[in-house]
Each structure stands twice: as structure tokens, then as C-alpha cells.
Amino acid sequence: MGNKDVDDSVEGAREKFAMMQQQMDQAVAEADKKRAEQQAQYEENIGKGDPSAQLQGLMNAQQSLKRISSAFQAKPKEDKVKDMAQKLGIPMTPEIMQLGSNEAISNALVEIAVGMGKSEEEISNALG
């Protein structure tokens, strides 16, 4: 494996990160827009003093909380496997991430590490 291979994989990782960052920025912008719409609707409904409108505001708030909590629940697991891959020197590809569960991703990373000639000690250290 020459320097060109390393540079290509680093450049590829940078491109993937830039694309993920762009998707995240777009999702944040969409969430901000939706929040602003809900805030405007909430303020309009509060002014009316209408109980059904106030209930709708509460339901919107509940939906927002569910979206926020679900977005953060997957994060620690993703960070953990990405950290493990980084310690092993394995690029996280979409194919690996699509395996779904932490266990499946970890198993795949261990298989790849063994195939790369990593020692049992190196793999154990990466597993934490």
C-alpha cells in the first residue's frame, strides 16, 4: 500500500465527512424552520386563548422532543464504533454503518482488523 492509497482514503474520508456535514447542516436548517413555524403558530394560538389550539401547541412540543431525543439516542453508539474504527485504522464506510447494530459493526471491524494483520492486543485496546 503506497502513499497514494493512503491519500485517496484520507481524501475519500474528507469527502464523506463534508457530505455528512452538509446533510447535517440541511437537517438543522429544516428543523430551525419547522421550529420557527411552530413558534409562530404557538404565539398565534396563545393569543386566541383557544384550548384546542393550546393543546395543538403542546402536541407540537411533544413531537419536537421525541425528534430531538431520537436524534441523540443513536449518537453515542455511532461515536463508539467510529472511535473503535479510528483506533484500528479502518475507514468507516457506509457499508459497515449499514450493518446496523453495534455488535454487527464491531464484529466486522474485528474481522477487518484481523485481515489487516492487527495483533490481538491492538484489537483489545481498540475495543476499550
- Indicate the average pLDDT of the chain: 79
Predicted TM-score (pTM) of this structure: 0.41
2 and 63, same structural domain?
Answer: yes
30-48 residue pLDDT tens: 888 888 887 887 777 777 7
Number of domains in the chain: 2
Q: How confident is the model over 83-101, as a mean pLDDT?
A: 86
Top mean pLDDT of 58-67, 71-80, 103-112 is at 103-112
89 and 61, same structural domain?
Answer: no
68 and 44, same structural domain?
Answer: yes
56-74 residue pLDDT tens: 777 877 887 777 766 665 5
Residue 2 has pLDDT above 80, yes or no: no
What are the CA-CA distances from residue 73 to residues 17, 68, 78, 89, 125 (Å)? 21, 9, 10, 26, 25
- The residue with greater pLDDT, 82 or 78, is 82
Which domain covers residue 102, as residue numbers? 74-128
Alpha carbon 62 to its chain centroid, in Å, reads 22
